Structure formats: structure tokens, C-alpha cells
């Protein structure tokens, strides 16, 4: 039985809190803390089991340490933004509690994420006898476990992995992002990058495309982008030759994005407006729909999976392992659209596997470094069924 402290009361944090509250035999207490207490209150009012809430600025290590001690947390689930990863990890070291997040650290002033800054904490976490589990959402998270599962149970050797992320859903806004707009737009406007035979190859943002027939959705165009799990998979999947990440975008989304970029609204450097510093992308975020509010009326499905090429007994095989999630069903169950649902459920399961000792180790780890079996077994039980099938 553990006390879990969830930081961040956005779309992902709401799902993590809802799902943690479903397993009182694992999480004896659930505390949800965020910068805006009203958002915590709103989420609490939707959850049947009583949970505690608190206000915290997660950029401030002292505030975090005081909160962890006040609520006697055993584990922190970081559902805030990538900017807070390092301050929360520092607070874990100061208080001796375990850590889990769904997105890797990124400095505010540079749209560049990499695991190095968090991997550098490995020996300090080991010495403190605590665990950090990085990137335990869907992608990264379940996609990493899919690769570990294929490596353990399906293939003798893996040659190449294409992670394919399709949101086939339709919401009622002309332009909205499915998770935090600032983080999403920083990600998709960055140069694309993929791994080939030991080298990283960079391409212009969203310039490479192909089509893929997504089960449950149909044929969609996908575009290549750099995604954080490529970095850890390149390190942890032995001898993998090729790693790429692909995502679907609607024409509406791409048109809006192009215009916003052309007029400078996606810039992350401050400009002076009427004597005040304004970061255009942060201003844009304030105007865009809150992704946590997209769920109502959202129709359609997501399909996220790994298309894996490898060898079995010397024969070349192709295998697709994926989940399909329905926006409306996710909303009915957890008041969230599918992108938040598919992120929050694995975060809760990861927290559960750490709290029960099944996954617990000392140091800093990515999901594919742990035994995938317990996660793969629990995913369908908590709403994320998966399918693995060979393709011609």
C-alpha cells in the first residue's frame, strides 16, 4: 500500500488520478497537486473515491519537498510538463521517494529534448536507493514495452522499428492539439530525426511522409518526426538497425500550423509587446482550446503501435503490435479524450508496478529496460487491450 502524489492537474494528470483511485489496494492515498488548485478541485469532483489535493509550484524544489513531507508520499507521478522533470527528480532525491514521468526533460528556452540530463541522475538515484522510471505513458511508454515484448517473445533479432501514431478522431474545433499545445507544437515544428545503422539522420520538419493502413481506422498519411523513445530504444534494443517515428496530422492541422509558423506565433523566444516580454507560443497556448476539455463529443479512435522487422529462425518477418482506443469510450469512463487516456493509464500501471515491487529497482530506467510481461498483462485489464500480428 503506497501514497501516490500526482503532480499536474491537466488531461494526463486527471486520468492518472482517476485510475489510481480505482486501485485502493495499491494506492492507499491519492494526492493530486498542481499550480492551479481549481483544476485539482475539478478533477476531484469527478472521482468517486475521496482524494487529497494541494497547490504547488513544481519549478520550486523547496515547495515540492515540503509537500512530499506533508503528505508522506512514497512515489511521485509527474504529469506536469517536461520543464518540471529535473526539479521533481531533485525533490525525490531530497525526500527519498520514487519518481515516474511521461515526457523527457526539455529546457524552456530550447525546443530540444534528450534523455541525457535525466540519465545523468542514475548513480544519485542508485545511491539514494530510489527509482526513476522515465517516459511511462503510451509513446513513450507502451511503445517501448511493445519493443521489449517483441524482443523477448517474438523475434530472435530485431532489424528495424517504425512507431506509428494515428489519431483518427474528430473534435469540434478547427485547430486544437491533443495534449499540451506548447509541448506539442515544439515537438512537431522541430527537425525530423531517425536512426539508421548507428547514425542519426536529420530531415526538415514533417517533410517525409508515407501511408499506412491502421487497423480500425484505415489508410492514413503519416509524417516522420523525432520522438524521445527513439533515443532510449537505440541504446537498449540490441543491434537495432533502424528506428523511426511517424504520426498522422489532419490537413486542417497542417494548414493552421503552417500559417501560425509563418506569422511567428510558434516562436519560443520572447518578443517585446507594449513594453512587456511575451513568448508568442505561450500566448498562442492561452488562446487554443485546452486539450483536457476536448473529450466531450470527440468521435473516432486512436491506433498507436510498433511495426517491427526482424528474424525468426533466420526468416525475415514483419510484426505489428498496437492498441486501438476510442475517444468516446475514454470520455465515458474517465472524462478524457483518448490521447490523455492512453497516456494516463500506463502511467498508473507503471506506478502500480513500482509500488508493489514488481518493477522496482534502484536508479533511472526507461520502460524497455524492465520486464514487459507485467505491464502487457495489466494493460487490457485497465482499458488498453493490445494486439500483435504478423503481416505479409
Q: Interface residues for ligand NDP in 109-128 (CB under 6 A)?
A: none
- Phi, psi (deg, nearest 5) at residue 365: -135, 150
* Span of 35-43, 216-224, 328-336, 353-361 interacting with ligand NDP by CB under 6 A: 35-43
Q: How far is the CB of 286 from ligand NDP (least distance, A)?
A: 10
Q: How far is the CB of 16 from ligand NDP (least distance, A)?
A: 9
Query: Which of 303, 284, 33, 34 has the alpha carbon at shortest distance from 142?
Result: 303
Task: Please name every residue paired with 388 in a beta bridge, in sequence order, or none if there are none.
Answer: 321
Which one, 149 or 186, has the nearer CB to ligand NDP?
186
Query: Which of 58, 10, 66, 67 has the alpha carbon at shortest distance from 38?
Result: 10
Can you tell me the distance from the alpha carbon of 217 to that of 214, in angstroms, rounded to the nearest whole number?
A: 5
* Helix or strand holding residue 344 (H, E): helix 338-355
Task: Please name every residue paired with 55 in a beta bridge, in sequence order, or none if there are none.
Answer: 34
* Span of 33-41, 68-76, 88-96, 319-327 interacting with ligand NDP by CB under 6 A: 33-41
* Span of 5-13, 44-52, 122-130, 358-366 interacting with ligand NDP by CB under 6 A: 5-13
Task: Please name every residue paired with 27 in a beta bridge, in sequence order, or none if there are none.
Answer: 2
Q: Which three cell numbers stand for residue 388?
A: 500483435
Binding track, positions 39-78, relative to ligand NDP; x by CB under 6 A:
x----------------xxxx-------------------
Which residues make Cβ contacts (< 8 Å) with residue 131, sequence separation at least 6? 98, 99, 125, 354, 359, 360, 361, 362, 363, 364, 365
Which one, 12 or 309, has the nearer CB to ligand NDP?
12
Can you tell me the distance from the alpha carbon of 342 to that of 380, in angstroms, rounded to the nearest whole number?
A: 11
Q: Which residue has the cell 500559417?
A: 259
Q: How far is the CB of 197 from ligand NDP (least distance, A)?
A: 27
Out of 47, 51, 81, 321, point to the residue binding ligand NDP (CB under 6 A). 81
- Phi, psi (deg, nearest 5) at residue 288: -75, 160
Out of 21, 79, 237, 349, point to the residue binding ligand NDP (CB under 6 A). 79
Using CB positions, name the residue nearest to ligand NDP: 10
Which one, 93 or 163, has the nearer CB to ligand NDP?
163
Neighbours of 172 (CB within 10 A): 11
* Span of 2-10, 67-75, 190-198, 211-219 interacting with ligand NDP by CB under 6 A: 2-10
Which one, 135 or 363, has the nearer CB to ligand NDP?
135
Q: Interface residues for ligand NDP in 135-154 (CB under 6 A)?
A: 135, 137-141
Q: Applying CB under 6 A, does 248 fall inside the site for ligand NDP?
A: no
Size, binding site for ligand NDP by CB under 6 A: 35
Out of 2, 6, 10, 355, point to the residue binding ligand NDP (CB under 6 A). 10
Out of 28, 36, 196, 209, point to the residue binding ligand NDP (CB under 6 A). 36
Neighbours of 144 (CB within 10 A): 31
C-alpha distance from residue 25 to each of 1, 21, 30, 284, 303 (Å): 6, 10, 12, 42, 31
Which one, 220 or 340, has the nearer CB to ligand NDP?
340
Q: Which residue has the cell 479512435?
A: 301
Q: How far is the CB of 328 from ligand NDP (least distance, A)?
A: 19
Q: Interface residues for ligand NDP in 335-354 (CB under 6 A)?
A: 339, 343
Which residues make Cβ contacts (< 8 Å) with residue 367, sequence separation at least 6? 133, 134, 135, 136, 140, 141, 142, 144, 145, 148, 350, 375
Residues near ligand NDP (CB under 6 A): 7-13, 34-36, 39, 56-59, 79-82, 84, 102-103, 135, 137-141, 179-180, 183, 291-292, 339, 343
Amino acid at each position: 500500500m503506497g501514497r501516490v502524489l500526482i503532480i499536474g492537474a491537466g488531461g494526463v494528470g486527471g486520468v492518472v488520478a482517476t485510475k489510481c483511485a480505482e486501485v485502493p489496494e495499491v494506492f492507499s492515498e491519492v494526492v493530486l497537486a498542481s499550480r492551479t488548485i481549481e483544476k485539482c478541485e475539478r478533477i476531484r469532483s469527478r472521482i468517486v473515491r475521496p482524494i487529497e489535493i494541494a497547490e504547488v509550484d513544481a519549478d520550486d524544489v523547496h515547495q515540492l519537498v515540503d509537500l512530499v513531507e506533508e503528505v508522506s508520499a512514497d512515489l511521485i507521478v509527474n504529469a506536469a510538463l517536461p520543464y518540471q522533470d529535473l526539479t521533481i527528480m531533485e525533490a525525490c532525491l531530497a525526500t527519498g521517494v520514487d519518481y515516474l514521468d511521461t515526457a523527457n526533460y526539455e529546457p524552456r528556452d530550447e525546443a530540444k529534448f534528450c534523455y541525457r540530463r535525466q540519465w545523468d541522475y542514475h548513480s544519485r538515484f542508485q545511491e539514494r536507493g530510489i527509482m526513476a522510471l522515465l517516459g511511462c505513458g503510451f509513446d513513450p511508454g507502451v511503445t517501448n514495452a511493445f519493443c521489449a515484448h517483441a524482443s523477448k517473445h517474438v523475434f530472435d533479432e530485431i532489424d528495424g522499428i517504425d512507431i506509428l501514431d494515428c489519431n483518427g478522431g474528430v473534435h469540434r474545433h478547427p485547430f486544437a492539439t491533443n495534449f499540451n499545445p506548447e509541448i506539442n507544437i515544439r515537438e512537431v515544428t522541430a527537425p525530423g530525426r531517425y536512426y539508421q545503422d548507428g547514425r542519426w539522420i536529420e530531415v526538415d520538419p514533417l517533410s517525409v511522409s508515407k501511408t499506412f493502413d491502421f487497423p480500425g481506422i484505415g489508410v492514413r498519411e503519416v509524417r516522420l518526426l523525432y520522438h524521445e523513445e527513439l533515443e532510449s530504444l537505440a541504446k537498449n534494443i540490441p543491434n537495432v538497425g533502424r528506428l523511426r517515428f511517424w504520426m498522422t496530422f489532419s490537413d486542417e492541422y497542417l494548414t493552421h500550423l503552417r500559417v501560425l509558423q509563418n506569422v511567428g506565433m510558434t516562436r519560443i523566444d520572447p518578443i517585446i509587446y507594449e513594453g512587456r516580454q511575451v513568448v508568442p507560443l505561450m500566448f498562442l497556448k492561452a488562446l487554443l482550446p485546452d486539450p483536457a476539455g476536448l473529450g466531450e463529443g470527440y468521435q473516432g479512435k486512436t491506433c498507436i503501435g510498433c511495426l517491427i522487422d526482424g528474424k525468426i529462425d533466420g526468416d525475415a518477418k514483419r510484426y505489428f503490435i498496437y492498441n486501438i482506443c476510442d475517444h468516446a469510450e475514454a470520455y465515458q469512463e474517465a472524462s478524457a479524450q483518448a490521447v490523455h487516456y492512453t497516456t494516463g493509464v500506463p502511467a498508473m500501471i507503471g506506478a502500480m508496478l513500482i509500488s508493489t515491487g514488481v518493477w522496482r529497482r534502484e536508479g533511472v530506467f526507461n520502460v524497455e529496460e524492465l520486464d514487459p510481461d507485467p505491464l502487457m498483462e495489466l494493460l487490457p485489464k485497465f482499458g488498453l487491450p493490445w494486439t500483435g500480428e504478423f503481416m505479409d
